[in-house]
Amino acid sequence: MDEVPMIQLLNPEGERVSNSEYESSLTPSEILGLYRDMAIIRRLCNEATSLQRQGQLALWAPVQGQEAAQIGAGHALAANDFSFPSYREHGIAWKRGVPPLDWLRLFRGVTMGGWDPVKYRHSNPTIVIGNQALNAVGYAMGIQRDAADEAVMTFFGDGGSSQGDIHEACVFAGVFNAPVVFFIQNNHWAISEPTIRQTRIPLFHRASGYGFPGVRVDGNDVLAVYEVTKRALDNARSGNGPSLIEAFTYRMGAHTTSDDPTRYRLEAELETWRLRDPLERVKSYLVRSHNEQQSTFDDIAAEADQMALDLREGLLSLPDPAPLSMFDHVYAEPHPFIEAGRRELIDLGFGGDA
Amino acid sequence: MDEVPMIQLLNPEGERVSNSEYESSLTPSEILGLYRDMAIIRRLCNEATSLQRQGQLALWAPVQGQEAAQIGAGHALAANDFSFPSYREHGIAWKRGVPPLDWLRLFRGVTMGGWDPVKYRHSNPTIVIGNQALNAVGYAMGIQRDAADEAVMTFFGDGGSSQGDIHEACVFAGVFNAPVVFFIQNNHWAISEPTIRQTRIPLFHRASGYGFPGVRVDGNDVLAVYEVTKRALDNARSGNGPSLIEAFTYRMGAHTTSDDPTRYRLEAELETWRLRDPLERVKSYLVRSHNEQQSTFDDIAAEADQMALDLREGLLSLPDPAPLSMFDHVYAEPHPFIEAGRRELIDLGFGGDA
Amino acid sequence: MTTENLTMAKAINEGLRGAMEKDSKVMLIGEDIGKLGGVFRVTDGLQKDFGELRVVDAPLAESGIVGAAVGLAMRGYRPVCEIQFDGFVYPAFDQIVSQVAKQHARSGGVYKMALVIRIPFEGGIGAIEHHSESPESYFAHTAGLRVYSPTNAYDAYWMIQEAIASDDPVIFCEPKSRYWEKAEVDRETPARPATEAQIRRAGSDVTVVTYGASVKTCLRAAQAAEGEGRQLEVIDLRSISPVDYPTLAASVEKTGRVIVVSEAPPVASVAGDIAATLSEMCFYSLRAPIVRVSGYHVPYPPSRIEEEYLPNVDRILDAVDRVMEFES
Amino acid sequence: MTTENLTMAKAINEGLRGAMEKDSKVMLIGEDIGKLGGVFRVTDGLQKDFGELRVVDAPLAESGIVGAAVGLAMRGYRPVCEIQFDGFVYPAFDQIVSQVAKQHARSGGVYKMALVIRIPFEGGIGAIEHHSESPESYFAHTAGLRVYSPTNAYDAYWMIQEAIASDDPVIFCEPKSRYWEKAEVDRETPARPATEAQIRRAGSDVTVVTYGASVKTCLRAAQAAEGEGRQLEVIDLRSISPVDYPTLAASVEKTGRVIVVSEAPPVASVAGDIAATLSEMCFYSLRAPIVRVSGYHVPYPPSRIEEEYLPNVDRILDAVDRVMEFES
Ligand SMILES: Cc1ncc(C[n+]2csc(CCOP(=O)(O)OP(=O)(O)O)c2C)c(N)n1
Ligand SMILES: Cc1ncc(C[n+]2csc(CCOP(=O)(O)OP(=O)(O)O)c2C)c(N)n1
Ligand SMILES: [Mg+2]
Ligand SMILES: [Mg+2]
C-alpha cells in the first residue's frame, strides 16, 4: 500500500519535485511561515507531553510527524471556512487561532471542550471516532442553504475510516454535493493496529465508491498538502462538491501518553519515517534553495521555546472548575433535575462558595 | 445511472446475448426450472397480497419484478452456503426450501421469525436495514475458522446501501477476506426515494473502495444473475474473498401493502420496466429457441395456482400463538423476570390454558 | 376562538407548518418525508410548500440524519428529524447520546442543540417487529435531552412548536396508535407548557400516572372504575423527561395510592423512576405500594398477542384493586 | 486449595484463558486486543498463545465488532467482544438491541446468542470525556440481555467464565477503577453464580444495595458508619440484570432502610428500578423512604470535578443519616 503514487512537491531531501497536476503557489516567506507553524506546534506538543509526564495533564495526544499534514491543511482553510477535528488536530487548532492553552484544557480535565467553536470556526475535539464527519456534512448542508462562500473540512484517521458514521457522511456528502473536504490523516496506526486492519487497499480509493474525487498526498510535504487541500476547498466553495484527501504520514510518537508503542511496532519503521521528517525537508529546501540562514531557524526555535514557557505557566495557573459548573450548560433552558442536583451539591457542602 | 453497461445474457426480448466475461451454463430444462421458480413465487406473492387485502396478513412486501434477481441468486447458493435476507427475499426463501407458509408468519403477526434458520441455512428476515450484512460477515468469519467449503450471501437494497452497517460489513469483509457475497437488489426505490437519494454513481462502484470486485448485472435476467452470483460464490468458497453484486432491477409493486406508490412515481417508469419483465423474457426464449410448448407454461401456472390455494388454506388455519409464548425464548436460561411475567399473565387470566 | 377538529397526525403537520412559517431556520429531514409525506403522512404537503431545501428526503441512514442535524444546528438551523419508526432510532443512538445530548455542554453553551427528533412510538397497531417499541426510557436516562409526548391533537399542535422553539434537543415521541384520533385544536390559545403534567380526569382514590397511548387506556379504565365507585385521577405527563413531580406529588398527597402505566418494558424505565421518586417524596402519604402496569421484560411480541402485552383496561383495573386492598 | 493474589485485570485475563482452553469455540474480538493486549492489558498474551484466528484485532468499528460476533454466534462460536471504553459502545447499540438481544427469540430459540460484550465502565480514573460512563441501565432496560459486573478478582475470574459459558448474551461491565486491585483468586472453588447477589458486609441498620466500583466505596462508608454505631449491610449485586431480589428483600425485611448506590445518572436507571421494586416488595417493612446515591443528571463531568460527581463516602453517609432520621 506504500507503493501507490502520491502528490509530492517537496521530497524528503528538501528538493522541489514537479507534479503534473499541482504546482506550488507559495512564496519562500510563506513557506518559512509554514515552517514556523510546524516548529511551534512540535515544540508545544513536546511541552504538553512533558507536562503530562509531570502529572499536569491527564493525557496528551502527540502530533509529532503529522505537522505538515495539519499545517498544510490548516493553512488552506479560509477564515470563513469551518473545521471539525478529531482529538489530535493541534496543528489545525493553531492555524484557526485557538490559543494553545485552550488545546490543553480537555487533557487537563477541566472541560469537555476547550474553546468557543464559533469564534474560531473550529469545533471542539470529537473523541467518539467518526461522529464529527457527519456533523461536518450537516454544517456543510447549512452552508448550501445559506448560499455562503464557505467550505467545511473534517479530520479523521486511518482507523476512523472504518466507522459507519464516516460512510454515512460520505453518502450524504455525495448525494447532496455538500461543500466538505474529508481529510484523512493516514498515520499508519490506530493505536496498535496497522492500516491493514482497516483496509487492504489505499484509503483514498474510498471516494470513488461515492462518486467524488479522492487523492493521496505526501502528508509529510507541507507544500503538497497545502496545494491539494486548497484545491479541494476551492472546489467545495465553488459548488463542485465534496472530496477526500488521504494524507500519507506517520505518527512518530505514542498514540497518547498512555500508550506504549514498543509493544506493537518496530524501531526500523520509525527510522524510515524519521528520514521523511516534515520539518527537516522544508528547512533543507529553504537553506539550499533560498539561502535561508541558520539564525532564522534559531529565532523560530527561541520563539517556540518562549511559547512553551508561556504555555506551561498558563497551565499551572489554570484553576480547577467549580464543582457546580457541572450543571451549567447541560440544558439551555431551566430544568428541575438540574436545579435539584445543584441544590444537593450545595447542601452537601461541595458547592464551593456559590 | 441507467446507462452503465451491465452483465446480460438474455435480453428483454428473450434473445440470448453474448458477454465477454460470462457464458450461460444452464440447460434448457434448468432454465425452465428457473422459470417455474419465478412463476411460483410471483403467484404466491400475489396470493399473499390478496390475503393481506382480505385482512389475513398485517402487511406484505411484494417481490414482483425482482423474481429473476432472487431466483438467479438463490439458485447459485450451494446447499451448504448460508444466506442472510432482508424482508423481501421470498424468492431466496423459496430456493432455500423454506415452506411458503413460513414466509407469511411474520407478516401475519404470529412470530418474529418464521422458520428454523439453521435447518434451511437461511436466516430469519432482518427488518432493521443493514444489520444482516454484518451478521453475514461474522458468519463468514466462522466459515474461515472452520476451514469449511461454504460461502455466505447477504441481501440488501439500494436504500440499505447507505447504512453504516453495510460499510462496516464491507470493511470487515475486505480486511479479513471473508467468504461473503453482498447482493444488492437495486430496485430503484427505497419506499418513496429514488436511488439518487442514496448515491450519485452506480452502486456497484462501492466495492472498489474496499478492494474487492463489484459488478452490475441485469437483475431481470435470470441467466446472467445466476452466472454472476455463482462465480462470486465460487470465488468466496475458494478463498478469493468477498465481492459485491448490484442486480439492476425494479420493484413493480408497492413497497409494502401499506404503501401508495402513485404518490411518488410515474406510470411511464413502470411501463418501461414492464417491457423488461423477468419471466416473459425467459418464456420467449424457451418458446422461440427451444420450442417449449404453451402447455408447459400452463402446467406451471396450474401448479402455482394449486400452491397458492394451499398457502391460503394453510394461512387460514394458522392458530394464533399462545400469549404465554411471548416469554418462551427471550432467554435460553432461567430468568426471574420472565418467570414473574409469566405468572402475572396467568394470574390475570390471559395465559390461556397453560 | 378558532378551533378545528383535527387528527393528531394532522395537528402535528399543522404545527410543523406553523413553525416553518414563523422561522425560516426550521427545516425537516428524514426518510420519505417529501413527496410521500412520511409513512404516517405527518409531513404531507410540506415539501411542496417549503421546497426541497427545507424538507429533505435523506439517505436511508439514521445516524446520518441525526448527525447531519447536529451540524445544521451548529450552523443555526433548527432541524426536525423524523425517525420512521421507534425501532429504527438505534442506528442513531451514538449521535444522540454523544453529540446531540452533549454538544451544548461541551461547547460551554455556545452551540445550541435546538433540534427535534420525532419518533412515532409505542405499539397497538398490529405491526411487525421493530415498529411498536417504546424507546423513551433510553432517552430519559440520557442527560442533555428532553423527552416530550403529546396525547391529543391540541397538545400535539402546540407541543411540536414548543419543542422546535426550545433551545434544548427534544425527543418527540408520538403515540402512533393515536395518530388518527381527532380533537378540537385551538390555534390561538396555546396549550400549557410541555413540562407541565396535566390532570386529564380528577379523582380522589388512586393517582394514575401515565403518558403516550396509555393515557386513553387509563381514561377508559377510570370510567370503568367509576362504575365500581372508585375515582381515578389520571395524569398525563406530557413531558416524560423532566417529569413534573410537583403536580404528581400533589395528587399523591390527596389519594395516597399510585399506579404508573406505560407500554415500555419495566426494568430501568421511566415508570420505575417515577415509582421510586414518588415513593421517596410521598413516603408518609402512601397508603399502598406503587404498582406499575407496563409491558413485560420481553421483546415486543408478535402483533397477534400484543393485546396481552400492552397495559389494557383489565390490567389497570387489576392494579387498582391491588392498591385499594392495602389499608393504611 | 490453590489461590493466587491477582489484580482484577489479571484475573479476567486468566478467566478468558481458562475459557479458551476449555472450549475451542471461544474467541475474542475487539480493538487493540492482540499485540497490545488491550488498552487495559486484559487480553495480554492471549493472541500470542491462541493465534490471530481466536484473538482478532478488528477494524475500528464497534457495530462491526458486535455485528460480526452475532454472526459468529450463529455459527456456534462464543465470541467475547471488547469495547475499549464505555462511551464507545453506542455505535454498537443498534446491533445490541436489535440483534444480540432478540435473535434467540426471533429464531424461536434456534440461535443461541452465546456472546459476551466486555465493557470497562464507570469513572474515577481521571480520564477525558467518554471514558468514564455508566451505560448499564440502557442494557438492563433491554430484554434479552444479561448484565453482570464483578467487583473483585475472585469474582471476576469466575464470572467471566460463567458469562462465556452462558447461552444468553451477557454485557460484562468491568469497573475500570478497580482493575488494579488485588485479591486472592481460588481457581478450584467457583464463586457463587453471577445471578446471586452477595452480602459483602452484614449489618442490621441500613441495607446498602450497590454494584461496580461503588461496592468498595460503600464498604468504606460502612466502616466509617460503624464508628458512629451504625451497622450497614452492603450488598454487591454482581448481576445487574436480572437483580437478585430475594436476597435484597430479605435484607430489607431485617433493616427496614435502604440506600441504593451507583455511579450512573439517576433517571430511568438500574438504581431507580431497585428503589421502586423494593418499595413495592417491602412496603410494610420500610421504615424510611429509599434513598438513591448516584451520579447527577448531567454528562460525566471533567475529571477535575469527578470526585464531586461520584458517590463518595460523604454522600453515602449523608444518605445513611437521611434514612436513619425517619421513625417508623
Ligand atoms: C468509537 C470509538 N471507538 C474507540 C475509540 C478509542 N480510540 C481512541 S483513538 C483510537 C484509534 C484511532 O486511530 P485513527 O483513527 O487512525 O486516529 P489516530 O489516533 O491515528 O490519529 C481508538 C481505537 C474511540 N475514541 N471511539
Ligand atoms: C434502520 C431502518 N430504517 C428505516 C426502516 C424503514 N424502512 C423499511 S424498508 C425501507 C426502504 C428500504 O429500501 P431498500 O433498501 O432499497 O429495499 P427495498 O424495500 O427496495 O427492497 C425503509 C426506509 C427500516 N426498516 N430500518
Ligand atoms: Mg491513525
Ligand atoms: Mg430498493
B324 pLDDT exceeds 60? Answer: yes
What pairs with residue D184 in β-bridges? Answer: D5
The chain D residue lying nearest C285, using CA atoms, is: D289
ipTM surpasses 0.90: yes
Q: Is B256 on the interface with C (CB under 8 A)?
A: no
Cell 454523544, residue located: C98
pLDDT per position as a tens digit, C119-156: 999 999 999 999 999 999 999 999 999 999 999 999 99
Sign of CA dihedral C41, C43, C46, C50: negative
Cell 418474529, residue located: B112
> Which residue ranges in chain A fall short of pLDDT 70?
1-2, 351-354
Q: How confident is the model at residue C2 (pLDDT cuts 50, 70, 90)?
A: confident
Q: Is A343 on the interface with D (CB under 8 A)?
A: no
> Which residue ranges in chain D fall short of pLDDT 50?
none
Cell 418464521, residue located: B114
Q: Is B207 on the interface with A (CB under 8 A)?
A: yes
B16 neighbors B24 (Cβ within 8 angstroms): yes
CA distance C12 to C30: 15
3-state helix, strand, coil in chain D (%, to 5): 40, 20, 40
This prediction has a pTM of 0.98
Phi/psi zone of residue A130: left (φ > 0), alpha (ψ -120 to 50 degrees), beta?
Answer: left
pLDDT per position as a tens digit, D220-262: 999 999 999 999 999 999 999 999 999 999 999 999 999 999 9
Sign of CA dihedral A117, A122, A127, A130: positive
Q: How many CB atoms lie within 10 A of CB C1?
A: 7
CA distance C152 to C147: 16
Q: What is the pLDDT of residue D328?
A: 55
CA distance B166 to B182: 9
pLDDT per position as a tens digit, B194-245: 999 999 999 999 999 999 999 999 999 999 999 999 999 999 999 999 999 9
A246 neighbors A199 (Cβ within 8 angstroms): no
* Nearest beta carbon to residue A171 from set C27, C59, C71: C59
Q: Does domain D7-186 have CATH number 3.40.50.970?
A: yes
CA distance A286 to C20: 57
Q: Please enumerate residues of C whose Cβ is less than 8 A from a Cβ of B.
A: 31-32, 34-37, 39, 57-61, 63-64, 87-88, 90-91, 126-130, 267, 296-299, 301-306, 308-309, 314-315, 318
pLDDT per position as a tens digit, D151-186: 999 999 999 999 999 999 999 999 999 999 999 999
C198-325: same fold as C7-186?
yes
User: Within chain C, how many helices (H) and strands (E) appear?
Assistant: 12, 14
Query: In testing the pocket of ligand 1, which one of A92, A191, A248 has its CB within 8 Å of the most ligand atoms?
Result: A191
Q: How many CB pairs under 8 A join A and B?
A: 75
CA distance B123 to C12: 39
Is A141–C72 a contact, with Cβ atoms under 8 angstroms apart?
Answer: yes
Cell 383496561, residue located: C313
Q: Is B309 on the interface with D (CB under 8 A)?
A: no
> What ligand is nearest to the CA atom of residue C130?
2
> Which atom of ligand 1 lies closest to the CA of A255?
19
Q: Please, what is the Cα angle at D84 between D79 and D90, to 5 degrees?
A: 85
Q: What is the pLDDT of residue A152?
A: 98
Please count the CA atoms within 13 angstroms of the CA of D193 that sit on its side-chain side: 10
Q: How many CB pairs under 8 A join A and C?
A: 137
Q: What is the pLDDT of residue A354?
A: 43
Q: What is the pLDDT of residue D97?
A: 98
Q: Residues of B numbered 127-186 whose beta carbons fall under 8 angstroms of chain A's beta carbons: which are they?
A: 161-168, 171, 174-175, 177
CA distance D128 to D178: 18
Instruction: Give the CATH fold of the C198-325 domain.
Output: Rossmann fold (3.40.50)
**N- to C-terminal Cα separation, chain C:** 47
Query: In testing the pocket of ligand 2, which one of C88, C94, C119 has its CB within 8 Å of the most ligand atoms?
Result: C88
pLDDT per position as a tens digit, C201-236: 999 999 999 999 999 999 999 999 999 999 999 999
D155 neighbors D100 (Cβ within 8 angstroms): no
Is D298–A341 a contact, with Cβ atoms under 8 angstroms apart?
Answer: yes
Is D98–C87 a contact, with Cβ atoms under 8 angstroms apart?
Answer: yes
Give me the active site residues of D, please: 131
Per CB-CB distance under 8 Å, the chain A contacts of B168 are 162-164, 167
Q: Which of C130, C131, C141, C297 is catalytic?
A: C131
Q: What is the mean pLDDT of residues C180-206?
A: 97
The 3-class SS string of D152-182 reads: CHHHHHHHHHHHHHCCCCEEEEEEHHHCCCE
Largest CA distance in chain B: 70
Q: How confident is the model at residue B352 (pLDDT cuts 50, 70, 90)?
A: low
Strands (E), A170-311: 180-186, 189-190, 193-194, 214-218, 243-248
CA proximity to C60, closest of C79, C85, C43, C80 = C85
- Chains touching A (at least 3 CB pairs under 8 A) are B, C, D
Backbone φ and ψ for D34, nearest 5 degrees, come out as -85, -105
Q: Is A140 on the interface with C (CB under 8 A)?
A: yes
User: Within chain A, how many helices (H) and strands (E) appear?
Assistant: 12, 7
User: Within chain D, how many helices (H) and strands (E) appear?
Assistant: 12, 14
Q: Is B208 on the interface with A (CB under 8 A)?
A: yes
B354 pLDDT exceeds 60? Answer: no
Q: How many CB atoms lie within 10 A of CB D54?
A: 19
CA distance A69 to A226: 8
Find the helix or strand (DSSP H, E) in which D258 lies: strand D258-261
DSSP state of B202: -
Query: In testing the pocket of ligand 1, which one of D36, D60, D89, D95 has its CB within 8 Å of the most ligand atoms?
Result: D60
Is A348–D318 a contact, with Cβ atoms under 8 angstroms apart?
Answer: yes
The residues lining ligand 2, judged by C-beta closer than 6 Å to any ligand atom, are B 88, 127-129, 156-160, 185, 187, 189-191, 251, 255; C 31, 60, 62, 84, 88, 91
Q: Indicate the residue type of A64.
A: Q
Instruction: Calculate how close chain C gets to A289, using CA atoms only, in Å.
Output: 44
pLDDT per position as a tens digit, B27-36: 999 999 999 9
Cell 462502484, residue located: B205
Q: b or e along A27-66 (b: 16 or more beta carbons within 10 Å of the residue's beta carbon)?
A: eeeebbebbbbbbbbbbbbbbbbebbeeebbbbbbbbbbb
Q: Which of B96, B251, B276, B281 is catalytic?
A: B251
Q: Indicate the residue type of D298.
A: V
CA A62 – ligand 3 centroid, Å: 12
Domain assignments of chain D as residue spans, ordered by start: 7-186, 198-325
